[in-house]
Amino acid sequence: MILKTRIIQPILVILISITISCLLLMWRIPGMELVGVTPNWLLIWLVVWSVKRNLWQSMVAAVSLGLIWDSISGDFPTHVLGLAVIALLTSNVYQGEYIKEDVISIVVIVFGMVIISDTVTALQYSLQTNLPLRDIWLKYQQHSLASAIISSLWTPLLYYPFNHFINPSKKSRRP
């Protein structure tokens, strides 16, 4: 019974948190947007997930989340590329001895990763559309900064519950 709980609980937490992130991605809650930009919930989820996982697990999560996001919003520009870059950069970030795991470091990582993800999206627009580059990059600057700020501010909302259920403290486990 305990073995089933240890296997089923993380799977349920992952599925429920992804579902909630997808719903929040589509739902415009008053006061949750900045300059018309809402938090990038799936990116926040990916960063929180990837910082303690290896590259393979992070890439599978990134591709899966990217495909889910593309199915919700449309396939151009694809979100798989940006999320794959983020998974590549954030996997196993805490194995170094210089970065400690806390909410502040996750918030800073989310801020940077949102800018990188928006850069990948802007590059896709630049390469695959006939829009003037000036318009693309001006809109990119406004959108990426607003998205990075709002996403990093809402990161603790996903970080604390997700960390609590996926990685329970060692003190609460009995030998």
Tell me whether residue 174 is in a domain: no
pLDDT digits (tens, 9 = 90+) for 13-22: 899 999 999 9
Count of residues in the chain: 175
Tell me whether residue 120 is in a domain: yes
Q: What is the reported pLDDT for 92?
A: 74
% of the chain at pLDDT higher than 90: 55
Find the CATH number of the domain harbouring 142: 1.10.1760
For 44-49, what is the mean pLDDT? 95
The total number of structural domains in the chain stands at 1
Q: What is the reported pLDDT for 47?
A: 95
Tell me: pLDDT of 70 over 80: yes
Q: For residue 36, what are its two tokens?
A: 């018309």
Tell me whether residue 150 is in a domain: yes
Q: What is the reported pLDDT for 98?
A: 61
Tell me whether residue 1 is in a domain: no
Q: Supply the pTM of this predicted model.
A: 0.89
**Full residue range of the structural domain in which residue 24 is found:** 6-169
